[in-house]
Chains A and B, each alone.
Chain A
Amino acid sequence: MNPIEAEKLTKRFGDTVADDAVTFAVRPGETYGLLGPNGAGKTTLVRMLTTLLRPTSGVARVAGHDVMKARAKVRASIGTVSQAETTDENLTVRENLSVHGKMYGLWGRGLSEIIERRLEQVGLWDRRDQLTRTLSGGMRRRLEIARGVLHSPHILFLDEPTSGLDPQSRRAVWEMLGDLKARDGSLAIVLTTHAMDEANYLCDRVAIMDSGKILCEDAPEALKRGLSTGERVVLETDRPIEGIDRDSILALGAVNWRTPAPASVEFEAQPGEGIGRLAAQLVEERGYRILHLAISPVTLEDVFFAYTGRALRGEN
């Protein structure tokens, strides 16, 4: 059984369609990323799956329970870390978890032990009696995550878990999530983000969303390989590459040929085919001297732009 199965899940707010017949599944133990620009429908989708919004139509099962019909069971199976801060700044770190644990039926010594273990996992045990308002942004987010997994959920939902954090804190959150997965192989994580590096680092599979639809879905590497262009090659030589030499390189599969300077060319190629390396080899064989060669691998950002375009949201 997949932890999450959504079929034609739709949410309308008046005339606006936030999510348009979204169908996807998350596999056991998988980290699944929902990637998309602002307003793509990621947060709405997560809210429907976490029972915070009722779908307009469609079906979704979370941990095998229908999100419309068995809401209490869904809630008992999931942990959430939302964009909002759901820890009380006037409580200490430990008190926050104590309040939250009770909401899941945890109590007494059992709860104390779980709190200790979770706080150790997120590196906040030393700060257990510190008021939450005195924590840094990164620590606060780690506390939110400890709160989200306190009751050992089947599925953890993270809505932009590292937005607004500095690079060190982001890295710490990533490592912590990796650690959580290592300890509990069956934990499925669904995270929304628009940080490409985050999706690339954390996710087993990524769905790119825009305008309420999933445009593509696969492992980050597979998505990158699936692009027909994206690998950027910059080649500077002692004399301009022209005529038959240029045609030979184009024949390898180079596209978007540009010459920003007479003896410099830029082109793009399909990722994973080694076209940049082959082109360099070719020009050397034909007697050119290479002054500079740069091959930039395709990134998830390229995939993202390829699917969502570059227009700013709300302005196109």
Chain B
Amino acid sequence: METAGRAPDVSAESARGVSRGPRLALLGILAICQRAYLTLWRQPVLIVSTMLFPVFYLVVLGNSLNRDLRNVPLAVVDEAGNALAVELRRGVLALETGRALVVAAFPADREEALADLRRGRYRGVWILPHGLSPSGPAPAFIGDNTDRFSYDALETALAEIWREAASPPSARTSESARLEAYPYLDYLTYLGPAVVCLAIFMGSMVAGGLQVIEDRMYGYHEGYLVTPVSTGAIVAGHMLAGSLVASLAGGLVLFVIAFFTPLPMATPEAIGGGLVTVFLTSLAISALWFCLFARARKSSVLRGMFGIINVLVFFPSGALYPVESYPKWLRVVADVNPLTYGMTALRDLLLRGAPVASCYAEWAFLLTFALVCGVLTQVLFRREV
């Protein structure tokens, strides 16, 4: 029989896996990526955690946090009963019907109103005292400062009503001119790039960190280690496999955002640049995960570290709040954090309509970061069991 177990149709050299150098390295990298890609679609839990989780995150966080305040319960106690007080009450009613910032109530008794404030029925009580006049007794605002957002919003809005009503039109200072450089963006859209980055972060953690540790735990890795593929190619393969999965997750989320939320500046060129950014960010973050867990043998290590890394990488990246506002020490973290650069490039491209060329510096950083982590991982990676 011709099947002498020796694969006669393939030269003995290659059948014995002696083909080495670049071809074997490329095939090794391809094999590791092939496996990562195939397994991704067979593990629904992975798809949920890497792709759907960030989308939920966007929808829930965007809709719960930092929305314009609405329906804040406010009590106005009118003890003055004069014309000025009527004007102030009208101002409050305008606030209720217009911006819907407040739900106003007009209790007669000050003590009752304050008691209700303490019971949490009102977020603020505005007292218009006897003899209310621009020069005499002014209104008093007593706010529930456990809820800082409502407190600040009420105080600002009521102060403005008072200023408008109390000062003669001639005394009003002209406001400085305001011009928004870009079309109106709500916080949900501002969060968009952050959610892409979150998808990258999750995807590369699962495919770049957890997968490598589990391979090692369950013995799959032995199957790689005994092959003639070089250590460098195995490391590169894992990094690319992680970034492939993370890019898929990030790219998908990017498209979801582009379709469902207004990205006024998202031209095809910007989306293309965005996808390159997604890939490079994925590569850098996967390299970071792999480097951190190059020697970990138990997935409990990752579970234990996940919270810390999440706090150190995702939050200080400017995902939720501008980096410029961070204290100095935190800015150092942001400056070496690859996610910061991915986030900046994505915001520039998608929200500001910046030309692709303006992201070259960020791309260069991401690539350098990935290379440094890759080299470090190769040093740390053990070919032995």
Q: Kindly specify which of B25-33, B139-147, B190-198, B280-288 makes contact with the partner chain.
A: B25-33
A149: chain B residues within 8 A (beta carbon):
5
Among residues 14 to 61 in chain B, which have CB atoms less than 8 Å away from a CB atom of chain A?
14-20, 23-24, 27-28, 30-32, 34-35, 38-39, 42-43
A101 to B7, CA, bound (A): 12
Decide: A76 near B17, CB < 8 A? Known: A52-B226, A103-B227: yes
| Cross-chain contact B19 with A184 (CB below 8 angstroms) | no
B19: chain A residues within 8 A (beta carbon):
105
Q: Is B65 an interface residue (CB 8 A)?
A: no
Shortest distance from the beta carbon of B278 to any chain A beta carbon, whole Å: 25
B20: chain A residues within 8 A (beta carbon):
72, 76, 105
Number of interface residues of A (CB under 8 A): 50
Q: Kindly specify which of A15-23, A81-89, A245-253 makes contact with the partner chain.
A: A81-89
Among residues 223 to 257 in chain A, which have CB atoms less than 8 Å away from a CB atom of chain B?
none
B6: chain A residues within 8 A (beta carbon):
152, 184
A104 to B7, CA, bound (A): 13
Among residues 199 to 242 in chain B, which have CB atoms less than 8 Å away from a CB atom of chain A?
218-220, 222-230
| Cross-chain contact A184 with B4 (CB below 8 angstroms) | yes
Q: Is B121 an interface residue (CB 8 A)?
A: no
Q: Is A301 an interface residue (CB 8 A)?
A: no
Q: Is B324 an interface residue (CB 8 A)?
A: no
Among residues 1 to 55 in chain A, which have CB atoms less than 8 Å away from a CB atom of chain B?
47, 50-54
Q: Is B385 an interface residue (CB 8 A)?
A: yes
| Cross-chain contact A131 with B4 (CB below 8 angstroms) | no
Q: Which of chain A's residues has its CB closest to B227's CB?
A: A103
Shortest distance from the beta carbon of A192 to any chain B beta carbon, whole Å: 15
Q: Is B1 an interface residue (CB 8 A)?
A: yes
| Cross-chain contact B18 with A105 (CB below 8 angstroms) | yes
B10: chain A residues within 8 A (beta carbon):
106, 110, 113-114
Picked from B16, B27, B383, the residue with its CB within 8 Å of the CB of A103 is: B27
Q: Kindly specify which of A91-99, A201-209, A306-314 makes contact with the partner chain.
A: A91-99
Q: B88-128 vs A: 1/0 string, CB under 8 Å?
A: 00000000000000000000000000000000000000000
B135: chain A residues within 8 A (beta carbon):
none
A71: chain B residues within 8 A (beta carbon):
383
Decide: A106 near B15, CB < 8 A? Known: A52-B226, A75-B228, A91-B35: yes
Q: B371-385 vs A: 1/0 string, CB under 8 Å?
A: 000000000000111
Q: Is A298 an interface residue (CB 8 A)?
A: no
| Cross-chain contact A151 with B384 (CB below 8 angstroms) | no
Decide: A76 near B219, CB < 8 A? Known: A95-B38, A151-B17: no
| Cross-chain contact B30 with A102 (CB below 8 angstroms) | yes
Q: Which of chain A's residues has its CB closest to B42's CB?
A: A90
| Cross-chain contact B24 with A99 (CB below 8 angstroms) | no
B12: chain A residues within 8 A (beta carbon):
152
| Cross-chain contact B35 with A72 (CB below 8 angstroms) | no
Decide: A72 near B4, CB < 8 A? Known: A105-B24, A151-B16: no
Decide: A183 near B1, CB < 8 A? Known: A52-B222, A84-B222, A103-B28: yes
B230: chain A residues within 8 A (beta carbon):
72
A47 to B223, CA, bound (A): 12
A47: chain B residues within 8 A (beta carbon):
384-385
Closest 8 CB pairs of A and B: A84-B219, A104-B17, A86-B223, A184-B5, A105-B19, A102-B31, A103-B227, A183-B5
Q: List 8 A-B contacts (CB under 8 A).
A: A53-B385, A82-B219, A84-B220, A86-B219, A98-B31, A102-B28, A103-B17, A104-B227
Which residues from chain B sit less than 8 Å from chain A, CB to CB? 1, 3-7, 9-10, 12, 14-20, 23-24, 27-28, 30-32, 34-35, 38-39, 42-43, 218-220, 222-230, 383-385
Beyond the given pairs A105-B24, A131-B42, 10 more chain A to chain B contacts, judged by CB atoms under 8 angstroms and listed by A's residue number, are A53-B385, A72-B20, A75-B17, A85-B218, A98-B31, A102-B31, A104-B24, A105-B18, A106-B15, A151-B17
